[in-house]
Amino acid sequence: MKTLMLGNEAVARGLWEAGCSFASSYPGTPSTEITEAVAKYSEVYAEWAPNEKVATEAAFGACLAGHRSFCAMKHVGLNVAADPLFTIAYTGVNAGMIIAVADDAGMHSSQNEQDSRHYAKSSKVPMLEPSDSAEALEFTKLAYEISEKFDTAVLLKMCTRVSHSQSVVETGERVETVKEYAKNPQKYIMMPGNAKRRHPVVEERTAALTEFAENTEINRVFDGSDKSMGIITASTSFQYVKEVFGDRYPVLKLGMAWPMPVKKIRDFAASVDKVIVVEELDAFIEEHCRNIGVEVQGKSIFPCIDELSQNKVAEALGVKVHHGEALDEAIPARPPVMCAGCPHRGLFYTLAKNKLTVLGDIGCYTLGAVPPLAAIDTTICMGASVSGLHGFNKSGTGESEGKTVAVIGDSTFMHSGITGLVNIAYNDSNSTVIILDNSITGMTGHQQNPTTGYNLKGDPAAKINLEELCRAVGINRVRVVDPYNLAECETVIKEELSVNEPSVIISRRPCALLKYVKHNKPLVVDADKCRSCKMCMKIGCPAISMIGGKAKIDNTLCTGCGVCEQLCKFDALKAPEED
C-alpha cells in the first residue's frame, strides 16, 4: 500500500517489517518519532531509557539474546553512547542490531551541528544513509541483513530533512526472526586477550564491507547526458542535486556512508571530466575520494556550515536562481519563548531578580536564557549544569558559592545529572542544584521518563522519587518549592545558598501543556489601577502586553498561573470574580 510517512515513521515501519522486537531510546530531536512510532506495533517491545548509553547497551543485550534490536538518538546522543559503540564494534552481534542517529544540520533544535559519519569511520561500524522515507524503510530492512551477514551493529544515519519530511512509501508485511543465544566468551567478553583477537576480525570485516559497498545497489549511479561533470552525493543533498539538475549530469549516490567503495568511485570519476562532491557539513566523502587518489571539488565551493538547499547547490555550481523579493519593512523576530503558564518562568524570574550565576542545561528551560529573563550563564550538554557547578564553586575560594546555582530538568537529571550530584556530595562542594521537575520530557514533545510514573506505552511504571534519590546520594538538604509561588521560591533559594553544605531544591509543577493540567481562568486587568510600571513585563509571558500604556491579557493564552499577579504592586492584575 502506498502511503505518506515521515522518515522517522518509515524507519519504524522498516523495523516492524524486519521482525525487530526490541527498541530502547532516549528522545532527541529529530530522532524521537522513530521510537514513538515503533511503540505502536504490538509485536515490538519499546521503551524510553534514561539515556543513550543505557539504550544502546540494552539494545545490545537484546540482540545478544537473539532478538533483532534497535536504539535511536540524536547526534549528540551518540556522544553519550560512544562508549558501548566502539566495543560492540568488536564483539559483533547475534541477532541484528541497528543504532539510528539523527543529525541536525542547521541546528533547528540542537546545541551543535556535529557530523555523525565520523563515528562510523572511527568505530569501524558500517553506516547507511537514506535520502527519503522510502529509502528509510528499505535501508532499515537492509541494515538488519548487513548486521547479521557481517556480524556487526549497523548505524542508520538520519538528518532533520529525512526524519521530518513525509514522502511516499510502499509498505510490506512483518517477517519474524529469532536466533538462539550461545555462550561465546572469546567473542563477547572484551578483555585484552580476546579483544586483541577480535580487532583483526574487525579489520577483515571492514574489507569485506568495502567489497559489499562496491556492489550494493544502494551505491547507485544515475546516468546523465552531460559528462563534463559528475556529482558524488548522499542523503538529502542528493535530492537537492536532482532538483537542480534532473538527469543532466551523472550522479553517484552513496547510500552507504561507511565504508565507501573505492573502485566504484574511481570508475565513476573516470567516466566524467571532473567530479564535484555535494555533502552537508564535513568533507567526509571528499576526503575519502582524495585518499583513494580521486581528484574532487567539494568544500572549496560548498559551506561546511548549516544545511544545504536547492538554491545553495545551484548557486555554488553557477546556476542562476530567482530569489523572491522581501518586503521593505523591519519584521520583528519571533524567537521561541516559554509558554504562558510555564512553571519554569517564576523560578527563572527569581534567579534573575537575585542576580545569580546560573549554570544551565538542555531542555525547554534553556529558554530562560532569552530576554527579558536572561537568567542563564552557560549551556553545554546534558548534565553539564550539575557537574559544572561543582567545578565553578570548588575551584575558587568559596566566593561563588552563595550566588551560583545549577538548573536541570527532571528528565535531564535522570539522563546525566545524577552522577554530577554524586560528585557534589562525594567531593563536598557547597553547591545548590535546582531540579526543574515539570513531570515530563518537554522540549522533545512530552515523553515519559523515570520520574513521571508512566512508560513509553502510557502504562503505569515505577516512579523515581527525586527527594529520596538526592538524599540517597548524600545530599542532606532537599527542599521542594512551587515555582508559581514567587515568595516561597525566593526564600528557599536564599536559605539554601546561605547554608554551608550541598543542597537540592526541587521546583515542582507539571508542564502547563500536559493534558491533565487544569488551568485557571485568565486574569483580568483593572485598567484604573494599572500604573504602567511594566513590572508584569519582566517575566516575558507571551500572554501579557502593554497596549495604550496599560497591561493587557491575551485570554487565549493566559492559564491564570498568577505569577504576574504577584509582581503587580497596585493590584491591577487579578483572578476574575467567581460567578
Q: Note the residues at the interface with another protein (CB under 8 A).
A: 2-4, 6, 29-30, 32-33, 108-109, 132, 161-162, 164-168, 236, 239-240, 242-243, 309-311, 321-339, 364, 367, 370-372, 443-445, 534, 537, 540, 542, 544-546, 556
Is the Cβ of residue 229 or residue 537 nearer to another protein in the bound state? Answer: 537
Tell me phi and psi for residue 323, to 5 degrees. -70, 150
Give the residue carrying C-alpha cell 527532571: 410
Please report how close the Cβ of residue 337 comes to another protein at its closest, in angstroms: 5
Helix (H) or strand (E) holding 47: strand 45-48
Measured N-to-C along each axis, helices 52-64 and 82-91 cross at an angle, to the nearest 10 degrees, of 20
Smallest distance from another protein to CB 444, Å: 7
Closest distance of CB 28 from another protein, Å = 9
- Which of 529, 550, 413 has its CA nearest to residue 473? 413
SS3 label, residue 350: helix
Give me the phi and psi of 428, to 5 degrees please: 50, 65
Give 422 or 517: the residue with its C-beta nearer to another protein: 517
The set of cell numbers assigned to 462 is 515505577
> Residue 538: CB partners within 8 Å, gap ≥ 6?
349, 372, 567
Tell the burial category of 537 from Cβ atoms under 10 Å away from its Cβ (0-12, 13-18, 19+).
middle
**Whole-angstrom Cα Rg for the chain:** 27
Helices (H), 229-380: 235-245, 263-270, 284-291, 310-316, 344-353
Among residues 212 and 222, whose Cβ is nearest to another protein? Answer: 222
Q: Which is nearer to another protein, 263 or 519 (CB)?
A: 519
Shortest Å distance, C-beta 301 to another protein: 18
Q: Which is nearer to another protein, 108 or 403 (CB)?
A: 108
CB of 99 to another protein, least distance (A): 21
Looking at beta carbons only, is 213 or 340 nearer to another protein? Answer: 340
Please tell me whether the peptide bond between 335 and the residue prior to it is cis, using omega within 30 degrees of 0: no
The answer to whether 252 and 217 have CB atoms below 8 angstroms apart is no
Smallest separation (angstroms) from another protein to the CB of 338: 7
Please, which residue, 168 or 189, has the CB nearer to another protein? 168
* Smallest distance from another protein to CB 545, Å: 5
